[in-house]
Amino acid sequence: MSVIEAAPERVGTAPEFAPADKVPGAPPTPVPAVPAVRVRLVFVGLMLALLLAALDQTIVATALPRIVGDLHGLSKMSWVVTAYLLASTVGLPVYGRLGDLVGRKPVFQFAIVVFLVGSALSGSAHSMTDLIVSRAVQGIGGGGLMIGVQAIIADVVGPRERGRYMGLIGAVFGLSSVAGPLLGGWFTDGPGWRWCFWVNLPLGLVALLVVTLVLPRALGHGAPRGRYRELDWLGALLLAAVGTCLVLATSWGGSTYAWSSPTILGLIGGSVLGLALFAPVELWVERRGGAPVIPLRLFRDNVFTVSGLISVVVGVALFGAASYLPSFLQMVDDASATDSGLKMLPMMGGIVVASIASGQLISRYGRYKVYPLVGGALSTVGMVLLGRLTAHSSFAVQSLAMAVLGLGVGLVLAVLVLAVQNSVEPRDVGAATSANNYLRQIGGSIGAAVFGTIFASRFDHQLAQRGLPRNDSITPAFVHALPAPLRSGYVDAFAAAMPRVFLYLAPVLALGFVLAFLLKEKPLVTHAAPEDFGSESLTSEALPQQGAATPLTGTPVTGAVVQPDRVGVARAVLTLVDMDGRQVTRTSSGGDGRWVLAAPRNGNYVLIAAAPGHQPQAVTVSVGGRPVEVDVVLGGTGRLSGAIRSAEGAPVAEASVTLTDPHGEVVASAHADADGAYAFRDLVSGVYTLTVSARAYRPAALAVDVAPSGETRQDVTLAGSGTLRGTVRTTLGRPVADARVTLMDASGAVVAAATTGEDGLFRFTDLEPGEYTVIAAGYPPVATALRLEDGHTERDLHLSHRLDD
């Protein structure tokens, strides 16, 4: 059992605290705080990078008609959006897990550089193929920007306070949705659509400079020394293949290829095969001690799973609608690219208002489930209203539909990632965040592709009904330059085709509303658990709205959280509660296990220390006005493994292995593999009961003492389980009822007894191999000796009876 060591109070001046230990609750000893200007610059750099990534999801929306007209590629129009979404999607799992393993800063810097390269190439494209490839490069960087910002905020801000920042992230997405179409329209009508991409270069360079100079280097959960080799690259490749196959199938199905064509069926089969291979690969990587790109244990978490499903739904609806709504406004309302962006202000304003308001309310009240419920209902209604638009709908009707959809989406966006980060362990924050975003982006890619496919099919149908020709250069400018009869025909065909596609998305959003009822609400942590940044500390109290960190006053209580070998435990959470069980303050240990907090008054307190992969501990701390130092030793976790063999030494495959604690609760269970091997990891040290059972073998149970670190090995030998059955008959072969059958072993001890029924049958199970004697009585008794081997033995016993004479 782990030991809690409390050093005696140290008399004299307060101890010298390393700068890395500056956290909320620090003693009043003068400690230089992180400059407020630097703190603000960190968040300015993060928000600027996020704005760039979000802008490029929407900035091409208003420019898209001009782009496809200049590059002659109406049939490839959806790919300008889909390429960015798909590329950013396939990179999400890698970025999230790499941030966990090697630190956030280098991964974030790499993403910015790739994004800027893709932006430069996109602005220089001279064909639709060039543009699509460049947008894919841009998307690879954009995925890293979106994940990096969210993961970094999760590192430095506690879940309760994080609500307002997730609201700000949602507002940035909303702002980008406003600024994107506006900038796209302004560039299209002014200097040219290529500036939709070139504008990223100066802004991106500023963001890169700020991040390089200001962001603490030691940010994240891992040590940047080659741990990228532990990443499950095969799993990441499988996820990329699944996403690619799904998007290609939905993009080409029903347009380029028939849904029943070998190409589409092959793509669908490829996505199914990729998913089928993903789970075994993740299990194999985890057993070898690697870093699964999405640990399968996350799917046992209700919040993670349900939030992921809702993210898919939101992605399908949001990206499908936001990508094509500007085209409707330009074509039907004869709006310029800039005007179409302005006309989308009700939708984007709804997203911004709902995101910020819900984030503030979450931080104030600590509850989040109500927002996806209300948001799901509002977004469904908004999508139905969009589906009822016609060529003659007024701007007021259009604005109402867009505003309702925007409010609904804004209420959902601010919650999902927050709920996931609050629910998973700190070591999985990056992986869980990227997984949630991956699912939303997959939904967005599929939504944009399906929307484009359905619209193209409906538009062709409407043009054919009106006897109008179709080509790849149909743009709003081209249509509105036509003579009145032709112009009216094209506009009516467009207005009849696009809004009805929105109705296809309404049931999808309704599914999200239903899923929100299944979302479990977990309490949000009130205080932040900041990360050790080496030379500086960035806490939730050091956020822009509050300036520099403000230490709490009181008696300093400090120490270290260590393992039995005295190695520091990083990111251990320490909670100080009074004797009535009320929380006083909370902090976390730095990279070397050191921590510091302050007790507000003299008296006795309980200090609770916990860390992932360790057994929690608690200790009483007495504060009498002088600094106190307390070291807490946390027992680590061990690994239990072994092999299941028969008495002859053969492996027993598929044997059921169960581990229970001293209270009888099942801690873990597994099945032995083909070699009879089993393994359990992340076990708290202590004594367990190991139970093994298998068909045709007698079950075995034994006590196992799992060491606090390293691997404990326990092999189990199973004895064969035999079955003896037979029938008691008269000498003429008739079954004898109510005959008493007794089984004795070689020493004469009774092993079992039974009474036959009308059919004369008897049966004994779970017998060890060996010599036995069977006695049947009820008439003159009969005794028979036999040898029982593994498996089943049948023996009929014959009794004499006067009726047989």
pLDDT tens-digit map of 483-534: 777 878 888 888 888 878 888 888 888 888 888 888 887 766 544 333 333 3
**Which whole number is the average pLDDT over 14-18?**
31
Q: What does the pLDDT read at residue 630?
A: 86
**Which whole number is the average pLDDT over 151-161?**
67
Q: Which two tokens stand for residue 373?
A: 């419920």
Q: Is the pLDDT of residue 542 over 70?
A: no
Q: Is the pLDDT of residue 726 over 80?
A: yes
Average pLDDT, the chain: 75
Angle between helices 128-156 and 395-423 (to 10 degrees): 50
Q: What does the pLDDT read at residue 551?
A: 42
pLDDT, tens digit, 9 for 90 and up, residues 376-435: 899 899 989 988 888 788 888 888 988 998 888 888 876 887 888 777 776 677 778 778
**Which whole number is the average pLDDT over 61-79?**
72
pLDDT, tens digit, 9 for 90 and up, residues 448-475: 667 777 787 788 888 888 777 776 556 6
Q: What does the pLDDT read at residue 456?
A: 77
Q: What is the CATH number of domain 722-804?
A: 2.60.40.10
Rama region for 500: left / alpha / beta (φ>0; ψ in -120 to 50; rest): alpha
Domain boundaries of the chain, sorted by first residue = 15-28+527-628, 36-231+291-516, 232-290, 637-718, 722-804
Equal fold, 36-231+291-516 vs 637-718: no
Q: Is the pLDDT of residue 603 over 60?
A: yes
Q: What does the pLDDT read at residue 32?
A: 35
The percent of the chain in helix, strand and coil, each rounded to the nearest 5, is 50, 20, 30
Q: Is the pLDDT of residue 130 over 70?
A: yes
The CATH fold assigned to 15-28+527-628 is: Immunoglobulin-like (2.60.40)
- Which of 20-34, 86-100, 400-414 shows the lowest per-residue confidence on average (mean pLDDT)? 20-34
Q: Is the pLDDT of residue 538 over 60?
A: no
Q: Is the pLDDT of residue 695 over 80?
A: no
Q: What does the pLDDT read at residue 404?
A: 92
CATH architecture entry for 36-231+291-516: Up-down Bundle (1.20)
Q: Which two tokens stand for residue 345?
A: 């202000």
Confidence band, pLDDT 50/70/90 cuts, at residue 20 = very low
Q: What does the pLDDT read at residue 442?
A: 75
Q: What does the pLDDT read at residue 546?
A: 31
Q: What does the pLDDT read at residue 598?
A: 83
What radius of gyration do the chain's Cα atoms show? 34
Q: What percent of the chain has pLDDT over 70?
A: 79
Confidence band, pLDDT 50/70/90 cuts, at residue 277 = confident
Which residue, among 728, 725, 727, 726, has the nearest Cα to 777 in the 3D structure? 728
Q: Is the pLDDT of residue 292 over 70?
A: yes
Q: Is the pLDDT of residue 157 over 70?
A: no
Measured in Å, how far apart are the chain's first and last C-alpha atoms? 75
Q: What is the DSSP letter of 566?
A: S
CA 330, distance to chain mean position in Å, is 38
* 677 close to 656: Cβ distance less than 8 angstroms: no
Q: Which residue has the higher pLDDT, 602 or 288?
A: 602
pLDDT, tens digit, 9 for 90 and up, residues 734-764: 888 888 888 888 888 888 888 888 888 888 8
Q: Is the pLDDT of residue 25 over 60?
A: no
Cβ count near 63 (within 10 Å): 29
Q: What does the pLDDT read at residue 2?
A: 31
Q: At 313, is the secondary structure helix, strand, or coil?
A: helix
Confidence band, pLDDT 50/70/90 cuts, at residue 74 = low
Q: What does the pLDDT read at residue 291?
A: 67
* 14 close to 627: Cβ distance less than 8 angstroms: yes
The CATH fold assigned to 637-718 is: Immunoglobulin-like (2.60.40)
What's the rounded Cα separation, in Å, for the pair 438 and 432? 10
Q: What does the pLDDT read at residue 337?
A: 61
Distances in Å between the alpha carbon of 452 and those of 68, 317, 323? 14, 13, 9
Amino acid at 199: V
Q: Is the pLDDT of residue 124 over 70?
A: yes
Helix (H) / strand (E) containing 623: strand 617-623
Q: What does the pLDDT read at residue 229?
A: 54
The residues near 415 (Cβ < 8 Å, ≥ 6 apart) are 166, 358, 362, 368, 371, 372, 375
Amino acid at 261: S
**Which whole number is the average pLDDT over 101-111?**
80
Which residues are registered as beta bridge partners of 716?
Answer: 644
Angle between helices 159-189 and 395-423 (to 10 degrees): 140
Which residue, among 501, 496, 477, 195, has the nearest Cα to 335 in the 3D structure? 477
Dihedral (C-alpha) 502, 507, 508, 509: value to the nearest 10 degrees? 90
